[in-house]
Amino acid sequence: MAMWTSRISVLPVTLLMAALLLAPAALTAQQSDISPLTLDRAPLPLEQVVANLEARNAQRATALAEFEGERIYRMQYRGFPSNREAEMLVKVTFRAPNNKQFKVISESGSRFIIDHVFKKLLEGEEEAARGDNRQQTALTRANYNFELSGYDVSPEGGTYVLNLLPKTKNKFLYRGKIWVDGEDFAVTRIEGEPGKNPSMWIRKTSIAHRYTKVEGFWLPAENRTESLIRLGGTATLSIHYQNYKIIKSPVRAARKSAQVGDPPLLDGRLASIAPAP
């Protein structure tokens, strides 16, 4: 019984790594309710939107040299053989190109979830950040087919809504929708499911990501993943991101230079090539 319980409790780990780490990923993808008129009003065709997204993602990956922040991991499992929940606060420091350091600030709740879910997620994030893994899971035309689903207009500006279809059955890819900012060409929101079911024990999984703009960079704000276990349980994990601090980037360096008398135009030029990661 102990071995079976361990296996069930760790089920969401691989899936949730995908939710955290893929480009820019609590609902299964739905049919678009955007009218044809809205599609007709999209300023750019699909091919140009995707090309801009790829180019700007590459620029962002180069521009954001170092930042830090905090995450609050929360997980609830409801079902057989028993209900469990836990919470963990983690400080994260990122240094380009792929170095991440994690420091656990506090822990509470199920020891099993902390050790076998939360900490496995951190280990998996380090692995997924490596060069080959990043290329195979990047939000690019090499890995996905894209469809223009709609174009939303709000007081904040325009947003392209794209359907996302992975070209291969891969549990680290998504199937669903992405929302792309019409000015920065950064993903601001993702809703979907894994491109491949990560485990026979999972009946269905839904993923939702939301991003926020911090000093010109789009960074994760909140992730939520819900997995329905075939034997009747439900595992829900949420990650809340807070207290971001951009430590090193071309934009920040330009601002410091401007304060000591360099031409302010430099800041504007760098800001234009260094939006969200």
pTM greater than the 0.95 cutoff:
no
Half-sphere exposure (Cβ direction) of 193: Cα atoms closer than 13 Å? 15
Give the integer Cα–Cα distance in Å for 257 and 62.
20
Q: How many domains does the chain have?
A: 1
3-state secondary structure of 41: coil
pLDDT at 198: 67
pLDDT at 155: 86
**Helices (H), ranges, the chain:** 2-10, 12-21, 36-40, 46-63, 111-113, 119-128, 131-137, 250-259, 265-273
3-state secondary structure of 15: helix
Give the integer Cα–Cα distance in Å for 146 and 140.
9
Closest by Cα among 5, 53, 12 to 239: 12
Domain of 239, in residue numbers: 2-273
> Going residue by residue through the chain (277 aa), what tens digit of pLDDT does each one get?
333 333 333 434 434 333 333 333 322 233 334 444 466 678 999 999 999 999 998 898 889 899 999 999 999 999 888 899 999 999 999 998 888 899 999 999 999 999 988 998 888 787 766 666 677 778 899 999 999 999 999 888 899 999 999 998 877 788 999 999 999 999 999 999 888 776 777 788 899 999 999 988 999 999 999 988 887 889 999 999 999 999 987 655 555 554 444 433 323 223 322 333 3
Give the integer Cα–Cα distance in Å for 271 and 260.
18
Cβ atoms of 122 and 103 within 8 Å: the answer is no
Q: In what order do the strands lie in the sheet with 174-181?
A: 99-109, 84-95, 66-78, 234-248, 217-229, 202-214, 187-194, 174-181, 157-166, 144-154
Closest by Cα among 260, 221, 214 to 242: 221
pLDDT at 194: 84
